[in-house]
Chain A
Amino acid sequence: MTEPRFPTKLPETDDGATLFSVPFPSELNEETLAGLKSMAPIIVKQPYAIDYIHSHGQDSPFFAGLANGRLLGRMDPTSGYTYATPRGHDMTTGAETDWVDLTRRPARVHAFTVCYFGSEEFLPECPFVLALIEFEGAHTLFLGRLIGVDPDSPTLDWIGMRVGLRFRRNSKFKPTDVYFYPLS
């Protein structure tokens, strides 16, 4: 069942003719009414679009930090347990965590993948590299995009690789406002 080198099947699309009528018995009687049970299903396209008004809430300083060239994590004030992805309260002590600057801490790739396919929103960006990043002194990881590597030649050697971080100049107020690249 080896996949052919070149596609032998056209991709399906959702466009096409708009249909306003379908075949139906010209006369309804016992026989034609019974026959309706075997009628093919009518399948209609129903567009659905929504704008959500999403608040970053207590995490807002993180996104403000990205817009100003700073990567912020949070830290439990007593234990020092440090979250590379912000978390308002510590999972062990229950205490409110404090903001901490991770921008200049040494960072490495902890795990990664190359996505050659994906969700609709990200299809135009394929292939892209997702990476979980570990920061020195932080106890949890941060999910980001890794660029500057060949997506067609992934290797486990990327794990453990030291990376630098850069920020988008025009912030989108998304976690992708920071991204990572290999340090030689």
Chain B
Amino acid sequence: MRTVYVVSGGVSKFAKARPDKTFQPVVKEAYDYAISDLGLEHRQFTEMVDGSVASYFSDHFARQLMAGIMIQDYLGLCPKPSHRVEGGGATGGICFQEAWKSVASGDMDICLAYGFETMSHVNTWKGNEFIALASDVSFDYPVGGFYSGYYAMMVTRHMKEFGTTAEQLAYVSVKNHRNAYHNPYSQKHERLTVEDVRNAPMVAWPLTRLDICVMSDGAAVAILASEEGLARLEKATGRRLDPLVKVAGIGRGTDAMRMADRPHQSYEQFLQQNLLPCEDTAETRAYYHDLWDHGFRYPGVHSFRAGRMASKAAYARAGISEPLKEIDFVELHDAYTSSEIQTYEDMGLCRYGEGGPFAASGKPFLANVDYGLAFSDGDQVGACAVNPSGGLIACGHPVGATGLMQAVFAFWQLQGTVAKHFKDDTLQIRDARCGAIHSHAGTGTYVTVSILERESAPHAKEIGS
């Protein structure tokens, strides 16, 4: 596989509704930003780009089949190759990885990944119905199809088995909303307290309205390139694209569509298939053995095996053995505060069962932001910032755009250009070198993890070589 770089990105303003434009010009907002940030004109870029991958989740929301080609057409990219990908909430993350594959395989030197969703065309309760159609329509949907309900069942089990508390969930909401306060692309800009989160209207016990992401209209694009593509872009722009950000590794996992069908693996199977290298110590083996002795089974409904396997593969490819120490930040799929806590565990930022205390420790918070919270491990605040952009809970979740939005925000973090794009440097993590993006579908059915790294030294090639 060839080395693949992220070379530019753009995000439209995420909003509850964008009636001012149809979906094609909303994508073009993000596209124009990305090529302008490269320093290229529309005609220059369309001559250089080899093809694209389109990302949107729902034909129901769009009420338009083949919306991908309508974007390709609108952007002036016909007759170049393109295809659409779909994988529920992970559609954007899958799109990013398919663009990576196009470049890594040698099929393309420059590939454009674009995604959107327009969720405002129906009322929230109808939107919930559309989303719930991404559950088994014979056995799950008819019982009361509602994704917030499915995730709430996961968290009641998590609370029962591990002692996770609603207040620990609220810490995540406070963090992500507070971070998004400094992100102009974000849909929500709110300063919250734990009490605000817990006193918000209850949606599906114990999840309140402020534990759950909102529906959004929005778009995002990322441009990926090989060494050769990079050289062509640098020649066209007449400047180096330093610092370079490369895709160091990708991973993807899956699990049963019906949450009820997830297996309950034995301790031995878990060790053999799912243990991360950083967990392979006598102390952690004993910790897990004790969990099994107390009835823990993996993945059950409290954990995402797909997220663990995606992380394991991505870490192996990127050479990461201690994720908490080696990854500076994670943009992860926090459709629910509870799923952020579950994902800490899947990604090995803490062990299974420790996600709640991890949230309250301060480790996933930014050290320079005042959240108005007390942390249990004050010395470790900012150890690995999670969702420094504000995540889905505050930025919004226009599904097909979300995974690409994460890629763009991670790219800007690693470039060190957050201040330029956000007009505010609060969210810039100092000297960030390694970031992970995590995209998640269904009740944990498809999960992608991609590792992005800033190259430590300027590349040696001459411009135009």
Is the CB of B43 closer than 8 A to any CB of chain A?
A: no
How many A-B Cβ pairs are below 8 Å? 150
User: When each residue 202-235 of chain B gets 1 if its CB lies under 8 Å from chain A and 0 otherwise, what string results?
Assistant: 1111110000000000000000000000000000
A130 touches B149 (CB 8 A): yes
Please choose the segment from A23-31, A96-104, A106-114, A162-170 that sits at the chain B interface, where 4 or more of its residues have CB less than 8 A away: A106-114
Is the CB of B455 closer than 8 A to any CB of chain A?
A: no
B153 touches A130 (CB 8 A): yes
**Closest CB of chain A to B363's CB: distance in Å?**
26
Given contacts A59-B138, A120-B123, are A111 and B146 in contact (CB under 8 A)? no
* Interface size class of chain B, counting residues whose CB lies under 8 Å from the partner chain: 35 or more
A115 touches B149 (CB 8 A): yes
- B-side residues, CB < 8 A to A, are 19-21, 63, 123, 125-126, 128-129, 132, 137-140, 142-146, 148-150, 152-154, 156-157, 159-160, 190-192, 195-196, 199-207, 256, 258-264, 301
Is the CB of A142 closer than 8 A to any CB of chain B?
A: yes
Taking CB as reference atom, which chain A residue is nearest B135?
A143
A73-129 with Cβ < 8 A to chain B: 83-87, 91, 110-123, 125, 128
**Closest CB of chain A to B327's CB: distance in Å?**
30
Give the chain A neighbours of B19 by CB distance below 8 A: 41, 43
Give the chain A neighbours of B159 by CB distance below 8 A: 156
User: When each residue 1-20 of chain A gets 1 if its CB lies under 8 Å from chain B and 0 otherwise, what string results?
Assistant: 11100000000001000000
Give the chain B neighbours of A91 by CB distance below 8 A: 256, 261, 263
B138 touches A112 (CB 8 A): no
**Closest CB of chain A to B329's CB: distance in Å?**
27
**Closest CB of chain A to B388's CB: distance in Å?**
22
Give the chain B neighbours of A85 by CB distance below 8 A: 139, 258, 260-261
Interface centre among B138, B150, B190 (most CB of A within 10 A): B138
B199 touches A2 (CB 8 A): yes
**Closest CB of chain B to A140's CB: distance in Å?**
5
Give the chain A neighbours of B156 by CB distance below 8 A: 111-113, 156, 159
B145 touches A119 (CB 8 A): yes
Give the chain B neighbours of A139 by CB distance below 8 A: 263-264
CA–CA, A125 and B142, complex, Å:
12
Given contacts A117-B204, A132-B153, are A145 and B20 in contact (CB under 8 A)? no
Taking CB as reference atom, which chain A residue is nearest B125?
A120
Cβ contact of A54, chosen from B21, B137, B144, cutoff 8 A: B137
